[in-house]
């Protein structure tokens, strides 16, 4: 499989995937020699962990030929005070060039999009690639949901293994839609453990999960995004049938068409094998529709 964009998120994703021996890896980046150096560094770690994977780096795409999965992370990262939406012009140009290359060399691949603004870049990838919708998937809720789960675990004081929660909607600070009504701890509803006021605080922190890290570190997060990407890749490569919220192209689900946005899906060897339509209440439905509206505004800037 291939990771395009060997920066912090890219090489962290490669690390998670290598540790779990999910696939042989190709790291691609335009910075001369850098992906080869990072690939070599990771490869040299494999004997310590007893990991039998091949890792190579490249400034081109020849080595990526016939990849089963291609993760697209290439683009400029968010800086403190910058919104994901402000990245759209520059990153749209980068993603378009990447998609043209990877589809030429790996026409049967499943594409996982990570570049921000996520939902717009997923839509762009879907349109430019010409692939069926089940083969173009944006990270979105896979990352937002793990942040939601982490904050719930911290609040309740239980293992993260027992916390299940999801975030749908746009992958933006303002417009994502955490769903506390569907969250539970070992099968017990979240509301049994946490007051409505604390639930709202957890939701608010989830929405700012990425911005909080950017303010602290000075650039975008990488450990959690890399782990979320690796989870998606593993679900596809090992046909695990995982239910993970991801940004996908809707064809009538949730009453929406011709837009990419985060919804629960089942990921397996066929990519998106099912879209799960949740029974949203009026408040949740209104929040989701507003989220879709925010994504549609971004799509107008793509001029597709």
Say if 2-138 and 141-300 have the same CATH topology.
no
| 141-300: CATH topology | L-2-Hydroxyisocaproate Dehydrogenase; Chain A, domain 2 (3.90.110)
The catalytic residues are 171
Q: What is the mean pLDDT of residues 78-87?
A: 66
Residue 70 has pLDDT above 90, yes or no: yes
Strands (E), the chain: 2-4, 25-28, 55-58, 69-72, 110-113, 136-138, 163-164, 167-169, 176-178, 184-185, 188-189, 242-251, 257-268, 271-275
Average pLDDT over residues 144-170: 98
- What's the rounded mean pLDDT across residues 24-39? 98
How confident is the prediction for the chain on average, in pLDDT?
96
For the segment 262-271, the average pLDDT, to the nearest whole number, is 98
Residue 275 has pLDDT above 70, yes or no: yes
Distance CA 294, CA 27 (A): 33
Is a pLDDT exceeding 60 seen at residue 15?
A: yes
Q: Which CATH class is domain 2-138?
A: alpha beta
Residue 79 pLDDT: 66
Average pLDDT, stretch 7-34?
98
Mean pLDDT, range 209-214, rounded to an integer: 94
Q: Report whether 126 contacts 113 (CB < 8 A).
A: no
Summarize the confidence of residues 152-181 as an average pLDDT.
97
Residue with tokens 């939902």: 119
The domain ranges of the chain are 2-138, 141-300
User: What average pLDDT does this structure show over 221-236?
Assistant: 98
Token pair in block for residue 282: 């009026």
């Amino acid at each position: 499989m291939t990771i395009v964009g060997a920066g912090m998120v890219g090489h962290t994703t490669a690390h998670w995937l290598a540790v779990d021996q999910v696939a042989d890896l190709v790291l691609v980046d335009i910075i001369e020699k850098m992906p080869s150096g990072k690939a070599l560094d990771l490869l040299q770690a494999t004997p310590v962990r007893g990991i039998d994977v091949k890792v190579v780096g490249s400034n081109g795409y020849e080595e990526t030929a016939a990849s089963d999965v291609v993760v697209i992370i290439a683009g400029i990262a968010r800086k403190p005070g910058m919104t994901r939406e402000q990245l759209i012009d520059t990153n749209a140009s980068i993603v378009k060039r990447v998609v043209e290359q990877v589809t030429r060399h790996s026409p049967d691949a499943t594409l996982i999009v990570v570049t921000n603004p996520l939902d717009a870049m997923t839509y762009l990838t879907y349109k430019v690639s010409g692939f069926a919708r089940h083969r173009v998937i944006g990270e979105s809720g896979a990352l937002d949901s793990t942040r939601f789960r982490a904050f719930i675990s911290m609040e309740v004081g239980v293992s993260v293994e027992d916390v299940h929660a999801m975030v749908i909607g746009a992958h933006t600070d303002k417009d994502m839609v955490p769903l506390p009504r569907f969250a539970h701890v070992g099968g017990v509803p979240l509301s049994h453990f946490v007051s409505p006021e604390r639930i709202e605080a957890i939701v608010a922190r989830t929405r700012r999960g990425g911005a909080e890290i950017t303010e602290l570190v000075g650039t975008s997060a990488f450990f959690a995004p890399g782990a979320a990407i690796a989870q998606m890749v593993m679900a596809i490569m090992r046909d695990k049938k995982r239910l993970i919220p991801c940004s996908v192209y809707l064809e009538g689900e949730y009453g929406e068409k011709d837009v990419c946005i985060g919804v629960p899906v089942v990921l397996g060897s066929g990519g998106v094998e099912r879209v799960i339509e949740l029974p949203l209440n009026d408040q949740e439905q209104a929040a989701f529709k507003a989220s879709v509206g925010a994504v549609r505004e971004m799509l107008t800037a793509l001029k597709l």
